[in-house]
Amino acid sequence: MVFAAEDPSEAAEKAAKDIDKAYEEAQKNIPDKDIKEKEDALDKAARDNDNTQGDPAKDPKKEAQKKEDEARKEADKAEGEDKTGEKYRKALEKRREACKRLKKALDDLRQQLQKRRKLTSDNSDIEQAIKNAEAARKRQEKIPEAPTLSMAVPQGAPSVATLVASGKIKLDSVGTGETIGHVADLKIQNQTDQPINCAVGPMVLESKSGKNQDYVCPKPQTVKIGPHGTATVPMDGVCINRNKPPVGKGAPGDLLVNEGNPTIPQDPNSHIPVNQAGDLLRICTAKYDAANQLQKSGALKNLPYRDPQKQKDIVVQWSTWCDPRISQITGAPPATKEDLKKVVYKQLESQKPMSPETKKKVDQGIDTIFEKVELTTAKAKDLEKPEEETSGGSTTEEGPSLGQPVYVSQTRAKQPTATPKSKGGGKTTSKPAPTPKPTPSPTPTPSGSGQTQEKENPTEEKPKTPPPVPSYPYTKEIDCGTITISIGDSGELVFDFKRNDKKCPCKEFGWIQHISPADQDNWRYDNGVLPGVSTPKKQGAKSDPSKPKQPTTPPKGTKLEDWDKNPWYGGTTDKSKPKDFGEHPTPQTHISDKPDAPNVKFITQLVCVETGEVLFSWEWGPFEKGTESPDKVGGGETEPPPKKK
């Protein structure tokens, strides 16, 4: 096909990406200081040799080759038999090879520009491609330094947004002018005296100004930054709003991070709600996975692009733009096959007019592209995982009915029941209180994938006066035993229940803990049963602490360890418990917790396993910084949710 051959712009773009990729690979494999110095000297000598023209048997080429050979001997000597610098050296070799290809593409672009100038005055596309290629050549000279990036996120590494909220890092962004692939660089500054491991992604990068594109970056990676050090992290992602321009190359400060994490305060300039950011990450992650699987199976081989990465980029980008669920969030209309045709025509006609024969072949190529885009969309929906299923689990009673007091929480006041009129029919001296509305249950709403999802509970106003700080230990006698809440040796809050010998209808008990952002009533069970949608950290299913009965029994045929609505608290200091206890918790009568996340609050409830009945509730928090000791924050017993009559 006419447009199947890689033109100089595409060749330069691919070579530039390979240069950046090789640099990242070198960063991951930085050897000891002495070896690194010799390898860097070898790399410079080899680059100088590559850039020296002439006969290898004559000066100055002969001298350049001699210097490279000498540098190689020194590097081999420093490396020794264990070859600890081998991976670093190979990464630098890959970078030099990519630079050779970039140099050729750059020469071709300059020749193309000279020819185009004779035909037209509009050469901005080639001029921009030349600028990008020259910048990539300059980057090739950069010596790899720490930090070391990896694609595996260490367990417990705090995220970018968490570290920003706690003041431990400062964050800035720089655009690249791209709509997919390397869309931005995040510049992270460590503000502390200690090294930091920072989890970067998955995340949505939003345009603060709202004038430029937003990007979904589903790939997780980490960066280790030394005390008061700075790291530049390349972000790989996809544009979600086709009707806006990309953030300009080198343009700083227009992008903010939205991890879709409701426990982290949202940036005031953010325009994508937290739950929608989570949806975007879930949807786009499936598109990336679908493209990878389709390419491995050979389903994308007929695309009119030879570069495998280009094949995946084209189907991911257009599948994203064509998705009506994403369009509903961005406000841009879903893209169509006709839109794709306009883009391809514009690209080709900017080079030279198309003949009827060429146009016919181009149309065939467009048909193939859109067919693969639709295939990617269908595959992605098969792979897509909803945030959580709404079906399954034991049946629980709904919230209180009309006329009953609504559960008292930190952010809700007890509503009075309607005041009855006097039997004598006379007028009352005070106005009757309004009949309260029942606490709304989450409403199932259909998602674009055909799955049913829950709406978030409405955010309610945070109280102006925090609850009083209680005195510990706190003891409460109930019909079935004794509850004790105390502060442990490490400052943790300990909940303990001892069953008495009295006749009690309940035989087994357990603690359930609900967690929510401090300024909202957006509750989840505090465990790790479900994968995190927007963060590496796992999370519990959505919960409702106002219900008088909690789901405690999995559906028939489902084991407790496989139940995605498992409510039991997942934290423990018991060394006899398995390491994955948080992901597969069981009912416990002795639990403890010392929160370390900012902007959270908790409700901890003692529940009868057989019936799901809530026997006791303790609300505590908020933890504004995540560093407070539990005995210094507010807390107290709240009335258990009333049973439905």
DSSP 128-170: HHHHHHHHHHHHTTPPP-SPPEESSPPTTPPBHHHHHHTTSEE
Q: Judge contact between 380 and 290, C-beta under 8 A.
A: yes
Q: Taking residues 584-596, what's their average pLDDT?
A: 90
**Residue with token string 């924050």:** 633
Q: Is the pLDDT score of 160 beyond 70?
A: yes
pLDDT band at 457 (very low <50, low <70, confident <90, very high): very low
* 523 and 539 Cβ atoms separated by less than 8 Å: no
In this structure, are residues 191 and 229 in contact, taking their beta carbons and an 8 Å threshold?
no
Q: Retrieve residue 405's tokens.
A: 């007091």
* Cβ–Cβ < 8 Å for 370, 281: no
Q: Which of 338, 335, 340, 316 is nearest to 215 (CA)?
A: 316
* Per-residue pLDDT band at 517 (split at 50, 70, 90): confident
Mean pLDDT, to the nearest integer, of 174-189?
Answer: 94
pLDDT for 148: 42
pLDDT exceeds 70 at position 423: no
C-alpha to C-alpha distance for 258 and 236, rounded to whole angstroms:
15
Among the residue ranges 121-125, 135-139, 397-401, 530-534, the one predicted with the least confidence is 397-401
* 122 in Cβ contact with 190 (< 8 Å): no
Mean pLDDT computed over every residue of the chain:
80
The answer to whether 162 and 598 are in contact (CB under 8 A) is yes
Rounded Cα gap, residues 575 and 565, in angstroms: 25
* pLDDT (mean) for 450-473: 54
For range 291-316, the mean pLDDT: 90
End-to-end Cα spacing for the chain? 74
Report the candidate in 597, 553, 598, 590 with the shortest Cα–Cα distance to residue 574.
Answer: 590
Q: Taking 60 as the threshold, does the pLDDT of residue 636 lie above it?
A: yes
Is the pLDDT confidence value at 231 over 70?
yes
pLDDT of the residue at 264: 83
Residue 188 pLDDT greater than 50, yes or no: yes
Each residue of 11-22: b (16+ CB within 10 Å) or e?
bbbbbbbbbbbb
CA–CA distance from 264 to each of 260, 347, 520, 563, 633 (Å)? Answer: 9, 43, 11, 27, 19
Average pLDDT over residues 480-499: 92
Q: What distance in Å separates the CA atoms of residue 603 and residue 237, rounded to the nearest whole number?
A: 38
Mean pLDDT calculated for residue range 477-495:
91
pLDDT value at 510 more than 90: yes
> How many C-beta neighbours within 10 Å does residue 68 have?
21
Average pLDDT over residues 366-394: 76
Contacts of 196 (CB under 8 A, 6+ apart): 158, 163, 168, 169, 190, 224, 225
Q: How far apart are CA 496 and CA 574, in angstroms?
A: 14
Q: What is the mean pLDDT of residues 118-146?
A: 81
Residues 6+ apart with CB under 8 A from 459: 519, 520, 521, 522
- Amino acid, res. 621: G
Q: Domain boundaries in the chain? A: 1-145, 149-272, 274-385, 474-638
Q: What is the pLDDT of residue 156?
A: 61
For the segment 32-59, the average pLDDT, to the nearest whole number, is 84
The yes-or-no verdict on residue 501 having pLDDT over 90 is no
Q: Rounded CA gap, 611 and 609, in Å?
A: 6
pLDDT at residue 424 tops 60: no
Give pLDDT tens digits for 62-81.
888 899 999 999 988 887 77
Evaluate the CA torsion angle 246, 250, 254, 259 in order and state its sign.
positive
> Among candidates 516, 402, 535, which has minimal Cα distance to 456?
516
DSSP state letters, 366-397: HHHHHHHHHHHHHHHHHH---S--SS-S----
Per cent of the chain over pLDDT 90 is 41
Exposed/middle/buried for 113, CB within 10 Å: 0-12, 13-18, 19+?
middle
**How far apart (Å, rounded) are the C-alpha atoms in residues 102 and 138?**
11
Question: What is the average per-residue pLDDT within 188-214?
Answer: 93
Grade residue 427 by pLDDT with cuts at 50, 70 and 90: very low
Would you call 590 helix, strand, or coil by DSSP?
strand
Query: At residue 400, does pLDDT exceed 70?
Result: no
Would the pTM count as exceeding 0.75? no
Q: Name the residue among 620, 512, 524 with its Cα closest to residue 570.
A: 512
